[in-house]
Structure 1
Amino acid sequence: MNGENADDERDLDGADPSGDELDERDAVVAAVRERVDPDEAERERLRGVAGRLTKRAESKATELCPDADVLRAGSSARNTWTSGDRDIDIFVRFPPTLDRETLESYGLAVGHATLPTGHEEYAEHPYVKGDVDGFDIDVVPCFRLESATEIRSAVDRTPFHTAYLVDRLDDELAADVRVTKQFLKGIGVYGSDLRTRGFSGYLTELLVCEYGGFRPLLEAAREWQPPVHLDPEDHGRTSFDDPLVVIDPTDPDRNVAAVCAAVNVARLQHYAREFLENPDLEYFEPDDPAPLSADELRDHVERRGTTPVAVRFEAPNLVEDQLYPQLRKSLEGITNGLDERGFDVFRATTMANESAVVFVELAVSERPLVERHGGPPVHVRTHAKTFYEAYAETADVYGPFLDGDRYVTERNREFTTARDFLESDEIFSVGLGVHVESALESEYDVLIDTDIETLLEEFGSELRAYFEPIP
């Protein structure tokens, strides 16, 4: 593979791997390549559809604006698409002298002329999406600019990414990109959507180029010490606070890996080590856990001795990139609220389908009727006097009394069970996502202990992943 050096030929303890080990790794990679490399018939079908639609888009675009042009972008244009993928991205570029409103109008006109049965979707601005001969087609308008640093919306960068990589990806590197994508899919970290928060296609291509292939990338990743900083074009920018920083070669003010969560960087490191030590096709095969049964769920809960609690509500009608940040915000708010009230969150997660769930395990599910409330030291005269006078004549309060040099009271606890708190209006004070808050205001259920079995029909696989965690 391209980019290999002496270090790439050594295993974790520094010894050279045996020929058998190399043969086994090579055999696995060869088997994966056979699966993910499109054959000539598949390539020809894509070329035919893409060519026909590109001409159709060019005709309409230049009719509206003589200075417009059309190009293909994305993995199919960079020869890094994997067999079975059916995505074709057609970018319609308009001169920067056009205003945004005109660009959007022209873009939709070109999109509908190219895809007469397509429908409109919206990212930073509207575009047309449709299906032609089994291929998923996006017709996206953007501005034709001199530099990616001049972009007016995120899609303006994409043609620059395509041009940069087309110049650097030969057939072998492109093949290694396809293998790498399949590896990342297999371990569950491929995709820059805000549900996955993993490795985008562009980031994957840059990493393969930077390290010189699939195996050199894994050799490097297993030794990463985050934060990892890569700067393919030596722009010299360092002002990023992320576990993985890959400076965009076309835009030095952007970290291509900004969305990549620390857990997914760590997951890549873990499985890079696992594969290099014990190569196996299983690392390239996404695993969808079988749904957990009611008996298995009861066994897990009994074995753990925790109290499972779920807040279940109708999932807000949002695209995933809007929904999952709100679910994570709500998860953080609810778990902080439980912790602050003494219920000791052990572990927690969130999941969504038709309904959405904040799922929490509690180490403590019930608290005493009273709680301790500490005051200031007696020698802090003003604050101490205010505290003492506030509680001295208060009914149902023990104290104030002294614990060392501080005033202390013991007062009635507002919530003695997690259910009391979660079913109260105080749940709306913890910092929920705005659409999640609206959903809870409409209706929600609190499920505790064996009641969580009602989640199995919709979330059996997610509950297995939760109760049987792997890296």
Structure 2
Amino acid sequence: MSEEDADSADHGSSGQCGNRADDGDEPDNREPDHDLERVVAEIRAQVTPADDERARLRAVADRLMDRAEAAATDLCADADVLQVGSTARNTWTSGDRDIDIFVRFPSQLDRETLEEYGLDVGHATLPEGHEEYAEHPYVKGTVEGFDIDVVPCFRLESATEIRSAVDRTPFHTRYLQRRLDDDLAAAVRVTKQFLKGIGVYGSDLRTRGFSGYLTELLVCEYGGFRPLLEAAADWQPPVELDPEEHGRARETAASSREESVGDTGLPFDDPLVVIDPTDPERNVAAVCSAENVARFQHYAREFLASPRIDHFEPDDPRPLSESELREHLERRVTTPVAVRFDAPDLVEDQLYPQLRKSLAGITTGLDDRGFDVFRAMTIADESAVVFAELAVDERPAVERHEGPPVHVRDHATGFYESYADDSDAYGPFIEGDRYVTERERAFTTARAFLESDRLFDVGLGAHVETTLEDEYDVLVGSEITALLAEFGTELRTYFEPRP
């Protein structure tokens, strides 16, 4: 159960937020406007759940809520149950099957008892369910085709008192229920589909995109789908949005600190900052990568200039064929290398940070040894791969090593004496005012480095390092065709990139 799952929707309400600008208010006197309204209307119709779909979901949710409440109050008289997430806030799109049920226990309960009670309620609600783990365990299952999460949390007075991330979710639901009306909820659904279509929807650490809650706040802030795109097209990161003006308090605090610390800058170092209305210490957009913010800007401009249905349709490229891959390699005249290993048995939100850390370490190790990484990526399924494309694959047998200036007597003397009796080194000799030696290079090929124990010195994710210690393969050049069976789609995306 991720916060993305719980916070990706809104409950219909008569409240409004932002400056209202309905998507259909612009006149039809320009062709792009007419096309935009037509496309948005078509997408809105596609993503709006039909009455019978709503009724089926409501019937399942109500039955499970009653079951969860009975089990919870048997264990703790002060417990209560509420539905959260997109299906609770009326921003779920047609075909979504998630129902998130939160069981709230009094804050006086200790964490261990909360987890025990939470699992008991989860299993009573979903007898065929299974346990999963986020910050604490919860029960997940399927009922009549709907994916159900039963999640325990503490009932708190303020989101600033949370003990785990899930404790925020009821506050998010309550906040948006007061602000989203039917028109804004419809705009949220259209915006979600747009974000899915361009590949930036989801706050999981694999995607690092826009969460449902963030999407709702952005639509609220700007008053609709179109005004959000118009604003995003002109964003100049870092962009800071503060729906409840929490920043005024921060500015006051910063001013009082100015003389002592000299720092009155933003408290968040992210390209997009949306201060959580329920928790001023949290940036809702913190997980959004700079790349995905930029991608959203690109497609906002493209859609406004030329509205098309395919902006809302996720790209599903066919796998790259071996002949196509070889054509790319012949055309680029670079050297691809790959470190392939069994993917560690971790959930994606744990796996991908470790893969990215390993990617950074390995590419830095290659760069430091003169192999000049051109571009790189990391991918995972049953296997995991750190993939890099090199501008240089083979280096000379010797490398230049500069010492200190001769006039820096102690350091210069130490350098000279270190190499003076080294029969394998050229020099030391003097160039300009420095000692220089040309010594044997440790690795003349990228393969030699990647297959050596020095790979473990570069800074790898902990579980990745353990897996590599057991076994891994190094693929160089055309050997990467061995990746096509598992990663043909990802390799097409790499070799045929788009914004």
2:283 maps to what in 1? 255
Residue 128 of structure 1 is matched in structure 2 by: 139
Change (3 A) 1:17 1:364: farther
Distance in 2 separating the partners of 1:470 and 1:69: 48
Checking the alignment, whether the CA contact within 8 Å between 1:9 and 1:17 is kept in structure 2 is: no
Deviation, 1:5, is 6.2
User: What amino acid maps onto 2:226 in structure 1?
Assistant: R
- 2:59 is the counterpart of 1:31: no
Which of 203, 211, 216 is the aligned partner of 2:222?
A: 211
Pairing of 1:217-236 with structure 2 (within 5 A): 217-236=228-247
Aligned-partner Cα distance in 2 for 1:104–1:355:
33
Corresponding residue number in structure 1 for 2:391: 363
- Taking the aligned partners of 1:352 and 1:5, their CA distance within structure 2 comes to 42
Query: Within the alignment, does 1:346 sit opposite 2:357 as a pair?
Result: no
Q: Is the 8 A contact 2:28 2:34 kept in 1?
A: no
RMSD of aligned C-alpha atoms? 1.5
**Contact residue 366 and residue 417 of structure 1 kept, 8 A:** yes
Distance in 1, Cα, partners of 2:328 & 2:131: 46
Q: Does 1:246 align with 2:274?
A: yes
Aligned counterpart in structure 2 of residue 95 of structure 1, from 93, 106, 110: 106
Q: Provide Cα deviations, 1:246-268, integer angstroms capped at 9, x if missing partner.
A: 00000000000000000000000
What corresponds to 1:413 in structure 2?
441
What corresponds to 1:13 in structure 2? none
**CA 1:35–1:418 in structure 2 vs 1: closer, same or farther (change >3 Å)?**
same
User: Which position in structure 2 is the counterpart of 1:47?
Assistant: 58
Does residue 400 of the first structure (1) align with residue 411 of the second (2)? Answer: no
- Are the counterparts in 1 of residues 243 and 277 from structure 2 also a CA contact under 8 Å? yes
C-alpha contact (below 8 Å) 1:4/1:216 kept by paired residues: no
Q: How many residues were matched structurally?
A: 465
Instruction: Give 3-state SS (helix, strand or coil) of 1:427's partner.
Output: helix
2:178 partner amino acid: D
Task: Check if 1:188 corresponds to 2:216.
Answer: no
Match of 2:462 among 434, 443, 450: 434
2:335 maps to what in 1?
Answer: 307
1:22 CA displacement: 1.4
Counterpart AA for 2:141: G
Partner of 1:111: 122
Which residue among 142, 153, 156 is the counterpart of 1:145?
156
The match for 1:425 among 453, 456, 468 is 453
CA separation in 2, counterparts of 1:263 and 1:22?
28
The answer for unaligned runs of 5 or more in structure 1 is 11-15
Instruction: Quote the Cα distance in structure 1 between the aligned partners of 2:64 and 2:121.
Output: 11
Q: 1:81 aligns with which of 81, 92, 101?
A: 92
- The 8 Å contact of residues 339 and 474 in structure 2, kept in 1 or not, is answered as yes
Q: Which has the higher contact order (CA 8 A, sep 6+)?
A: 2
Post-superposition CA distance 1:417-449 (Å, at most 9, x none): 001100000000000111111111111111111
Q: Distance in 2 between matches of 1:17 and 1:356?
A: 51
The amino acid that maps onto 2:100 is D
* Change over 3 Å in CA distance of 1:300–1:17 after alignment to 2: farther
With over 3 angstroms needed to count, the CA separation of the structure-2 counterparts of 1:460 and 1:75, relative to structure 1, is same
- Give the TM-score taking structure 1 as reference length: 0.97
Instruction: Provide closer, same or farther for how the CA distance between residues 348 and 9 of structure 1 changes in structure 2, counting only shifts above 3 A.
Output: farther
The 3-state SS of whatever aligns with 1:226 is coil
Instruction: Indicate whether 1:64 and 2:92 are aligned.
Output: no
Q: Is the partner of 2:403 in helix, strand or coil?
A: strand
In 2: Cα distance, 1:189 partner to 1:121 partner: 26
Alignment match of 1:177 (pick from 174, 188, 205): 188
Gaps of 5+ in 2: 1-15, 251-265
- Contact between 1:3 and 1:216, CA under 8 Å: does it hold in 2? no
- 1:292 matches 2:303: no
2:315 aligned counterpart, secondary structure: coil
Give 1:269's aligned amino acid. Answer: Q
- Which AA in structure 1 matches 2:329? V
Q: Percent identity?
A: 75
Q: 1:388 and 1:79, CA in 2 relative to 1: closer, same or farther beyond 3 A?
A: same
Residue 395 of structure 1 and its aligned partner are, at CA, apart by 1.3
Per the alignment, residue 325 of structure 1 pairs with 353
Distance 1:309 1:390 in 2: 35
Amino acid in the other structure paired with 2:402: G
| Counterpart Cα distance in 1 of 2:451 and 2:96 | 46
CA contact (8 A) 1:186 1:287 kept: yes
Cα distance, 1:85–1:467 mapped onto 2, change above 3 Å: same
Amino acid at match of 1:221: A
Matched, 1:163 2:148: no
- The SS at the match of 1:253 is strand
Give, in angstroms, the shift of residue 41 of structure 1.
0.1
Give, in whole Å, the separation in 2 of the partners of 1:3 and 1:291: 45
Structure 1 Cα separation of the partners of residues 115 and 474 of structure 2: 45
Query: Aligned partners of 1:119, 1:279: CA distance in 2, in Å?
Result: 44
| Equivalent AA in structure 2 for residue 314 of structure 1 | D
Query: How far off is 1:3 after superposition?
Result: 3.6
Q: Which amino acid aligns with 2:50?
A: D
2:122 counterpart letter in structure 1: G
Report if aligned partners of 1:219, 1:272 keep a CA contact under 8 Å in 2: yes
CA distance, structure 1, for counterparts of residue 21 and residue 208 of structure 2: 31
User: Residues 221-275 of structure 1: CA distance to partner in whole angstroms, max 9, x if unpaired?
Assistant: 0000000000000001441110000000000000000000000000000000000
Equivalent residues of 2:399, 2:441 under 8 A apart:
yes
Specify whether residues 410 and 116 from structure 1 end up closer, same or farther in structure 2 by C-alpha distance, changes over 3 A only.
Answer: same
Q: Secondary structure at the match of 1:138?
A: strand
Instruction: Give the structure 2 partner of residue 465 of structure 1.
Output: 493
Q: Specify the alignment match of 1:20 in structure 2.
A: 31
Is contact 1:60–1:113 with CA below 8 Å preserved after alignment?
A: yes
1:17 Cα offset (Å): 8.3
- Give per-residue Cα distances to partners, 1:134-187, cap 9 Å, x unaligned: 000000111111000111111100000000001000000000000000000000
- 1:189 aligned counterpart, secondary structure: coil
CA contact (8 A) 2:320 2:484 kept: yes
| CA displacement 1:37-60 (0-9 Å, x = unmatched) | 000000000100000000001111
